[in-house]
């Protein structure tokens, strides 16, 4: 069940899957780590985490750089490789998302995958893009559960088609607006010049305080949901905590097959907060809100390699782009898709019990439907 199935109204025309994979050639893969229960034993579990891989132009062309840009609403988070993207306006390689304390491991995992499948790229230099949000409420986040081979497996599993929303991959242990959060995705069609382009969004939602939540403009902060602290299932109540509000972070990836300049990608990334705000958040200090946008239309011209004359013939390169005065429709598509992706992450989910009996309850569908209908 996705947000539209609850009767939540959305604007815009979606792609076939209403997912980031509506962008041709883009692939998503995940590895989910979900095991153990009871009290936290560091390095043993319970484990509620994973890794997500996004291949903007698939595996074969992964290291042909595409126009890209990053925007940070609040920097209490991490996205590696961001300085090189800002310097060159180009993105190459997979985009990875995991938990806060697994960034280094996944970073190394991308290098291992690249050594295997793209040795020429590995023999130059690699600045993998790895982003994170914090899953320590449900997960043994300090345990070395995410391994380099999980990064490789997620990339190898990447495929087009439907995307697993909710508690899978990097989104396994995440919370959103005090409910069970995780992965959400959506897409919009933007016509231009006789072509229907796609704007797709994928986000790992782990942000927001419950009192902030709004759906279709309707306040949802007082939904009737049990208090995790009142659940007597677990004996060690002293170690239980409520879902932390306003903390945890959100990573958003915006993809389009429309030809864009890096500066236009940045303009798309800057619109992500407008979509988030439609769901209620004001952007908390303890939330790392970092957004990446890219265009898959023109792989290659922004690639950087060592200027070895025998291999690279010196010549000019060029990029096509949507005229700036036609960008408003693409901005609107980002805002609409981000809003829907957040709500898909909340709706397409289930209650999860994690370490020390900490509980993250699923969004109560019937209550939401009743308020929307009323």
Q: Are 68 and 91 in contact (CB under 8 A)?
A: yes
Instruction: Return phi, psi of residue 271, to 5°.
Output: -85, -10
Residue 133: both structure tokens together: 């949000």
3-class state of residue 356 by DSSP: helix
| Cα angle: 240, vertex 165, 44; to 5 degrees | 40
3-class state of residue 177 by DSSP: coil
Residue 210: both structure tokens together: 């419950």
Please give the DSSP secondary-structure letter assigned to residue 129. E
Distance CA 97, CA 212 (A): 25
Which residues are paired to 75 by β-bridges?
288
Distance CA 338, CA 136 (A): 25
Cis check for the bond before 46: say yes or no (omega within 30 of 0). yes
Please give the DSSP secondary-structure letter assigned to residue 24. T
Among 124, 118, 123, CA closest to 94: 118
Tokens 């239309």 identify what position? 297
3-class state of residue 106 by DSSP: helix
Distance CA 143, CA 122 (A): 29
Instruction: Return phi, psi of residue 222, to 5°.
Output: -115, 30
Q: Are 60 and 29 in contact (CB under 8 A)?
A: no
3-class state of residue 233 by DSSP: coil
Catalytic residues: 249, 287, 289
Among 359, 331, 361, CA closest to 270: 331
CB neighbourhood size of 329 (10 A): 17
Distance CA 260, CA 254 (A): 13
């Amino acid at each position: 069940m996705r947000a539209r199935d609850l009767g939540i109204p959305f604007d815009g025309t979606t792609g076939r899957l209403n997912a980031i994979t509506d962008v041709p050639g883009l692939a998503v893969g995940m590895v989910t780590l979900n095991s153990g229960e009871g009290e936290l034993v560091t390095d043993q579990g319970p484990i509620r985490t994973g890794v997500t891989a996004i291949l903007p132009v698939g595996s074969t062309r992964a290291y042909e750089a595409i126009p890209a840009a990053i925007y940070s609403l609040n920097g209490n988070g991490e996205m590696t490789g961001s300085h090189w993207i800002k310097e060159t306006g180009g993105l190459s390689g997979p985009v990875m998302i995991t938990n806060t304390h697994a960034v280094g491991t996944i970073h190394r995992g991308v290098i291992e995958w690249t050594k295997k499948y793209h040795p020429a790229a590995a023999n130059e230099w690699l600045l993998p893009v790895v982003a994170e949000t914090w899953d320590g409420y449900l997960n043994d986040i300090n345990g070395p559960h995410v391994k380099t081979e999980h990064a490789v497996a997620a990339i190898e599993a990447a495929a087009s088609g439907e995307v697993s929303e909710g508690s899978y991959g990097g989104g396994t242990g995440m919370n959103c607006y005090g409910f069970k959060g995780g992965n959400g995705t959506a897409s919009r069609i933007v016509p231009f010049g006789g072509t229907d382009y796609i704007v797709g969004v994928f986000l790992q939602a782990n942000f927001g305080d419950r009192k902030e939540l709004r759906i279709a403009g309707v306040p949802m902060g007082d939904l009737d949901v049990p208090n995790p602290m009142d659940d007597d299932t677990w004996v060690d109540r002293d170690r239980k905590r409520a879902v932390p509000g306003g903390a945890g972070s959100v990573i958003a990836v915006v993809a389009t097959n429309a030809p864009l300049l890096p500066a236009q990608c940045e303009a798309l990334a800057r619109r992500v907060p407008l979509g988030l705000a439609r769901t209620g958040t004001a952007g908390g200090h303890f939330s790392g809100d970092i957004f990446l946008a890219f265009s898959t239309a023109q792989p290659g011209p922004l690639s950087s390699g060592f200027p070895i004359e025998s291999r690279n013939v010196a010549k000019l390169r060029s990029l096509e782009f949507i005229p700036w005065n036609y960008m408003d429709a693409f901005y609107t598509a980002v805002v609409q898709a981000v809003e829907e992706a957040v709500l898909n992450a909340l709706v397409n989910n289930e209650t999860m019990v994690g370490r020390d009996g900490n509980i993250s309850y699923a969004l109560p569908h019937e209550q939401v439907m009743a308020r929307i209908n009323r």
